[in-house]
């Protein structure tokens, strides 16, 4: 962890803790506003790059904290938070710090914005002073988290201007002066001729060089891929004429075993559609074959090895699947009491009708239309540029504003005990937008298009620990995983079966699965039934286990996993409250409603089958979470 540098007079430090990138975008926006308002020194940093022991040396800080899982802090916050819980830190440790807190969360969760709320309270308890009341962004808001971020920022700047005018000297009660500053791009692109460059043949090294050159990926791990895997199985799991396409992929390293364990996550860097990359380059009037290096103007001045512009775009700029960041549309006219908006895009638009439309999107009345046009409909950077053909942005601005090509993370659905040199994945490929447009995931679509055993399409992969820890063979497991949430539990069952073959005393497994229709989208049906019905199968009643499937659309009344949990309440209670061993609960799947419904169902089982008061049941499950025996991994 890097130490904090000596604070400059008037320095504002903005720390973010991000899991998917939203908190990074919000923090960068706060930093831009602070600079536009005249703050002499602004540092925007990931929380894991700031030494928390240096907090007492700072005067002004802003924290932007997202939520992951069921109210959990992002990975980049965990060590920072652990340090703040040390007993020796007293109530006046941060007496000189002024801070503000903004959280990003989803109010459909019980633990809504818990990381931001807890960090805010802890800083206050350590003696820090709030600049303004904490803000809580909500994904359920019609404008997403920005619906709360906008008014919170106005309150923040007013408070700072009133109490610490030296920090924001440009905006004052006396002048109310407007600033309409686009400024220069912070990115510098240097061009080279072909004779000044050397082509790189090793794909792993090329990926590392391109991504380490990208300013947008500076906060991401840009090391070279750990594995270049081959597709050996590409199988559709859903049947019939359905709009849902769920796939089973098997990826292999033909040279060596792959070091992983159940519960791990595989990160994949997908290839963008080459023809769409070509369309983007053509639309932006760029030369795909020229060689470039890219750097921030205030960053490293040591030149890097040049690479082709097309290669840089393909490996670092998500032009074909990600919606543009708000900053793509945003520049700002600032006053003390308000922020009106104009597009960066409108600045470069030459058609007056397009300019007017873009400016309308950023007006207070048009922000809802912009949110629907951009985020809700998942329009890509290329689609937006095609919609506004008169906009001609310099490549420096495109590099700065285009979302980075991110690795996609997938729960592993195989066990290394059974497949030491393979990784299996269970992936949903397509979905519908609110306007009923079918959209396809970039990575899942790319994987779907790969044929087995094609050596010319290696898959760049990284391994990381997931949030579902590998259970010991002696721990009974209560698994709940509807839809593609079954992916990690296929690995758990596969591994437990291998362990049971060597040791018959291995603990039982109870699995609750859910999908819409048994005949259409029941993935791995034969696998589950083999382990549930076979003699001595780890999901069999003979082994004190069980497999229970809820098919929500196969009868007039919808049935979900939480209904099956309550139906099997006596058996669930027996597993959870066994005196011989401590069972663990694992939940995986969609973040929308399911985890909360499952928690309520477990509370009802404790109440109705065990005679436990509701308050005690809720507290008992919270104790299980604190003990690491109730673990949830969800995704949107």
Q: Does residue 341 carry a pLDDT above 50?
A: no
Give the N- to C-terminal CA distance of the chain in Å, as an integer. Answer: 31
Pull the structure tokens for residue 355.
Answer: 């300019």
Mean pLDDT check: name the lowest of 124-128, 250-254, 297-301, 394-398: 297-301
11-176 and 470-635 in the same fold: yes
Q: Does residue 340 carry a pLDDT above 80?
A: no
Mean pLDDT along residues 134-158: 87
Strand 41-46 versus strand 11-17 pairing type: parallel
Whole-angstrom distance, CA of residue 486 vs CA of residue 409: 15
CA angle 327, 406, 483 (to 5 degrees): 110
DSSP H/E element including 368 = helix 367-371
Whole-angstrom distance, CA of residue 391 vs CA of residue 346: 7
Quote the mean pLDDT of the chain: 86
Q: Does residue 256 carry a pLDDT above 80?
A: yes
Over 138-199, what HEC string results?
ECCCCCCCHHHHHHHHHHHHHHHHHHCCCCCCCCCCCCCCCEEECCCCCEEEEEECHHHCCC
* Nearest alpha-carbon partner for 484 in 409, 372, 398: 409
CATH, range 11-176: 3.40.50.360
pLDDT band of 8, cuts 50, 70, 90: low
Q: Does residue 455 carry a pLDDT above 80?
A: no
Mean pLDDT along residues 379-394: 93
Whole-angstrom distance, CA of residue 474 vs CA of residue 91: 44
Q: Does residue 335 carry a pLDDT above 60?
A: no
Q: Does residue 179 carry a pLDDT above 50?
A: no
Please name every residue paired with 635 in a beta bridge, in sequence order, or none if there are none: 590
DSSP character string of 620-632: HHHHHHHTT-EEE
User: For the chain, how many residues are written?
Assistant: 636
Q: Supply the pLDDT for residue 175.
A: 33
Q: Does residue 177 carry a pLDDT above 60?
A: no
Q: Supply the pLDDT for residue 403.
A: 87
Strand 98-105 versus strand 129-130 pairing type: parallel
Alpha-carbon distances of 437 from 153, 239, 431, rounded to whole Å: 34, 21, 8
Read off the pLDDT of residues 505-545 as tens digits, 9 standing for 90 and up.
Answer: 899 999 999 999 999 999 999 999 999 986 779 999 999 99
* Nearest alpha-carbon partner for 425 in 259, 238, 267, 537: 267
The 8-class DSSP code of residue 269 comes to -
Pull the structure tokens for residue 281.
Answer: 């380059």
Q: Supply the pLDDT for residue 333.
A: 44
Q: Supply the pLDDT for residue 571.
A: 94
Alpha-carbon distances of 471 from 26, 218, 512, 622, 629, rounded to whole Å: 37, 35, 18, 19, 10
Whole-angstrom distance, CA of residue 512 vs CA of residue 587: 10
Mean pLDDT along residues 538-554: 94
Model pTM score: 0.82
User: What is 470-635's CATH number, 3.40.190.10, 1.10.287.130, 3.30.830.10, 3.40.50.80?
Assistant: 3.40.50.80
Mean pLDDT along residues 174-187: 55
pLDDT band of 342, cuts 50, 70, 90: very low
Mean pLDDT check: name the lowest of 254-268, 278-292, 319-333, 353-367: 319-333
Cβ proximity of 205 and 304 under 8 Å: no
pLDDT band of 144, cuts 50, 70, 90: confident
Read off the pLDDT of residues 278-331 as tens digits, 9 standing for 90 and up.
Answer: 999 999 999 999 999 998 877 666 567 899 999 999 999 999 988 887 777 764
pLDDT band of 178, cuts 50, 70, 90: very low
pLDDT band of 35, cuts 50, 70, 90: confident
Domain regions of the chain by residue span: 11-176, 470-635
Cβ proximity of 356 and 363 under 8 Å: no
pLDDT band of 169, cuts 50, 70, 90: low
Read off the pLDDT of residues 405-447 as tens digits, 9 standing for 90 and up.
Answer: 989 999 999 999 999 999 999 999 876 655 666 767 889 999 9
Number of H helices, E strands in the chain: 19, 25
Listed in sequence order, the residues at least 6 apart from 624 whose beta carbon sits closer than 8 Å to its beta carbon are 585, 630
Q: Supply the pLDDT for residue 303.
A: 62
pLDDT band of 362, cuts 50, 70, 90: confident
């Amino acid at each position: 962890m890097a130490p904090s540098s000596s604070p400059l007079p008037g320095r504002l430090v903005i720390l973010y803790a991000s899991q998917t990138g939203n908190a990074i975008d919000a923090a960068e926006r706060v930093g831009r506003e602070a600079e536009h308002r005249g703050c002499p020194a602004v540092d925007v940093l990931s929380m894991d790059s700031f030494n928390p022991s240096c907090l007492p040396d700072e005067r002004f800080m802003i924290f932007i904290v997202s939520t992951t899982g069921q109210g959990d802090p992002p990975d980049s916050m965990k060590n920072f938070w652990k340090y703040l819980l040390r007993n020796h830190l007293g109530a006046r440790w941060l007496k000189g710090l002024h801070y503000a807190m903004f959280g990003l969360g989803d109010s459909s969760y019980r633990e809504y914005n818990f990381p931001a709320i807890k960090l805010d309270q802890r800083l206050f308890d350590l003696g820090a002073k709030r600049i303004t009341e904490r803000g809580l962004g909500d994904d359920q808001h019609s404008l997403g988290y920005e619906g709360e971020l906008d008014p919170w920022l106005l309150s923040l700047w007013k408070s700072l201007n009133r109490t610490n005018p030296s920090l924001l000297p440009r905006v004052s009660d006396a002048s109310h002066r407007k600033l309409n500053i686009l400024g220069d791009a912070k990115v510098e692109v240097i061009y080279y001729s072909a004779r000044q460059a050397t082509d790189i043949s090793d794909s792993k090294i090329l990926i590392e060089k391109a991504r380490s050159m990208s300013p947008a990926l500076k906060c991401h791990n840009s090391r070279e891929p750990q594995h270049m895997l081959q597709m050996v199985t590409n199988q559709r799991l859903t049947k019939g004429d359905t709009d849902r396409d769920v796939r089973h992929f098997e990826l292999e390293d033909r040279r060596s075993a792959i070091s992983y364990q159940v519960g791990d996550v595989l990160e994949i860097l997908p290839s963008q559609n080459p023809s769409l990359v070509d369309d983007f380059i053509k639309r932006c009037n760029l030369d795909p074959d020229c060689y470039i290096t890219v750097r921030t103007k205030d960053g490293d001045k040591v030149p890097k090895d040049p690479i082709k512009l097309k290669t840089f775009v393909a490996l670092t700029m998500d032009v074909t699947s990600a919606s543009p960041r708000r900053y793509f549309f945003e520049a700002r006219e600032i006053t003390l009491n308000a922020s009106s908006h104009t597009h960066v895009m409108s600045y470069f638009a030459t058609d007056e009708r397009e300019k007017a439309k873009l400016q309308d999107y950023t007006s207070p009345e048009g922000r809802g239309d912009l949110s629907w046009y951009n985020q809700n409909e998942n329009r890509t950077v290329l689609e937006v540029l095609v919609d506004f053909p008169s906009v001609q942005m310099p490549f420096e601005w495109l590099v700065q504003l285009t979302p980075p090509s991110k690795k996609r993370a997938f729960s592993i659905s195989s066990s290394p005990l059974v497949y030491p040199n393979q990784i299996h994945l269970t992936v949903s490929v397509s979905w519908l937008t609110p306007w009923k447009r079918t959209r396809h995931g970039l990575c899942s679509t790319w994987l779907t298009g790969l044929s087995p055993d094609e050596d010319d399409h290696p898959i760049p992969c990284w391994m990381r620990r997931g949030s579902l820890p590998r259970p010991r063979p002696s721990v009974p497991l209560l698994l709940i995983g509807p839809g593609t949430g079954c992916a990690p539990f296929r690995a758990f069952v596969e591994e437990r079966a291998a362990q049971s073959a060597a040791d018959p005393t291995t603990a039982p497994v109870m699995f609750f699965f859910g999908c819409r229709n048994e005949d259409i989208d029941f993935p791995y049906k034969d696998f589950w039934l083999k382990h549930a019905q076979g003699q001595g199968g780890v999901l069999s009643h003979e082994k004190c286990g069980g497999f229970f499937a809820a098919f929500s659309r196969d009868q007039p009344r919808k049935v979900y996993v939480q209904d099956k949990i309550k139906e099997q309440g006596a058996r669930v209670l027996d597993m959870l409250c066994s005196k011989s061993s401590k069972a663990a609960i694992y939940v995986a799947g969609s973040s929308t409603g399911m985890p909360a419904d499952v928690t309520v169902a477990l509370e009802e089982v404790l109440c109705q089958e065990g005679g436990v008061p509701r308050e005690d049941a809720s507290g008992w499950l919270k104790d299980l979470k604190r003990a690491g025996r109730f673990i949830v991994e969800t995704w949107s």
